[in-house]
Amino acid sequence: MNQITQTAPTKEEAISVALEKLGVSRDDVSIKVVEAGKKGFLGFGKKPAVVEVTVLKKEPEEKIERVLGQVKVEEIVELEETVANGSVMEEEPTITETNEQAVNETKSYINEIAKEMNIDDLVINEKREGKFIHLHLKSEKAAILIGKRGQTLNALENLSQLVANKFSNSFIIIKLDVGNYRERRQESLEQLAEKMADKAIRIGSKVEFEPMSSFERKIIHNALSVRVDIETYSVGTDPNRYLVIEPIK
């Protein structure tokens, strides 16, 4: 069952029942409100709410996961840490071609992945800043490219990084973005960081974030670096490494 139309006294109740029947979470579906429902007055004019809940297709994320599974996790973690720290790897390239070819090969690779995700309208705009190559992706299916909490975009960026440095004559860093998602995500993380820090102080105990990439953990570390009432540190190993905020007593 991929879609269900559910009726209930209120919209939220209808959504809740539909999710239970489908066996999925709210993040896994799209919701269309057919009828918002009315409370009525003295029993007159009361109407139930009607919602149409559709399970989102998982093929794009599964495709990324299959491709990602073919790459050594150690390589991806090392590259991710390198990008997050802004350092440069001084290694001989495996293929001594120009950076121009490296960028073109990377763009071709992204296009191939997009086509396998059923994205046929992808446009890639390029901007270069030294060793940084910014590739901005545009598509009507932007949400698919981003994925849940940016997981698909992060995976695609990691893979693109590996592809680029197979063809470059010096280390380059690939940065992918879709619809300014990175900027919006950073703002969201910074706001979340302050709220979580305030919560840690309020309850007098440490609070933990969900697992996230080293780049996103660094955003939170930086956002809270000026505070003297808390400390931040990371726990665990990638890809399940998470950040902790603890009040200083």
Which residue segment(s) compose the domain that 46 sits in? 3-55
Question: What contacts 126, CB < 8 A, 6 or more positions away?
Answer: 103, 107, 133, 134, 135, 136
Per the model's pLDDT, the better-predicted residue between 89 and 235 turns out to be: 235
Phi-psi region of 69 (alpha: psi -120 to 50; beta: other; left: phi over 0): alpha
Q: What's the pLDDT at 243?
A: 93
- The CATH number covering residue 21 comes to 3.30.30
Closest CA to 79 of 92, 69, 88: 88
Q: What's the pLDDT at 192?
A: 93
Identity at 109, one-letter amino acid code: Y
How many domains does one find in the chain? 3
Claim to verify: residue 172 and residue 191 sit in the same structural domain? no
Segment 19-45 mean pLDDT: 74
Examine the pLDDT at 165 and tell me if it is beyond 70.
Answer: yes
The C-alpha atoms of residue 100 and residue 88 are separated, in whole angstroms, by 19
Segment 70-94 mean pLDDT: 49
Examine the pLDDT at 43 and tell me if it is beyond 70.
Answer: no
Claim to verify: residue 84 and residue 127 sit in the same structural domain? yes
Question: What's the pLDDT band for 122 if we cut at 50, 70, 90?
Answer: very high
Claim to verify: residue 24 and residue 121 sit in the same structural domain? no
Examine the pLDDT at 11 and tell me if it is beyond 50.
Answer: yes
- The CATH number covering residue 229 comes to 3.30.1370.50
Q: What's the pLDDT at 72?
A: 46
Segment 222-234 mean pLDDT: 93
Claim to verify: residue 155 and residue 189 sit in the same structural domain? no
- The CATH number covering residue 169 comes to 3.30.300.20
Per the model's pLDDT, the better-predicted residue between 172 and 249 turns out to be: 172
In the numeric block, the tokens 């800043």 are attached to 129
Segment among 62-71, 131-140, 145-154 with least mean pLDDT: 62-71
Q: Are 243 and 209 in contact (CB under 8 A)?
A: yes
Segment 199-211 mean pLDDT: 92
Per the model's pLDDT, the better-predicted residue between 63 and 34 turns out to be: 34
Q: What's the pLDDT at 21?
A: 77
Claim to verify: residue 80 and residue 130 sit in the same structural domain? yes
Examine the pLDDT at 95 and tell me if it is beyond 70.
Answer: no
Q: What's the pLDDT at 2?
A: 75
Per the model's pLDDT, the better-predicted residue between 67 and 208 turns out to be: 208
Claim to verify: residue 65 and residue 112 sit in the same structural domain? yes
Segment 130-141 mean pLDDT: 91
pTM equals 0.59
Claim to verify: residue 157 and residue 63 sit in the same structural domain? yes
Claim to verify: residue 19 and residue 84 sit in the same structural domain? no
Task: Write out the two tokens for 40.
Answer: 């009525």
Examine the pLDDT at 221 and tell me if it is beyond 90.
Answer: yes
Segment 110-132 mean pLDDT: 90
Domain finish residue from 129, 160, 178: 178
User: What are 79-82's contacts with CB under 8 Å, separation 24+?
Assistant: 79/158, 79/161, 79/162, 80/158, 80/213, 80/214, 80/215, 80/238, 81/214, 82/173
Closest CA to 132 of 151, 109, 93, 106: 106
Sign of CA dihedral 225, 228, 230, 233: positive
Q: What's the pLDDT at 89?
A: 44
Q: What's the pLDDT at 96?
A: 38
Q: What's the pLDDT at 195?
A: 93
In whole numbers, what is the pLDDT of the chain averaged over residues? 81
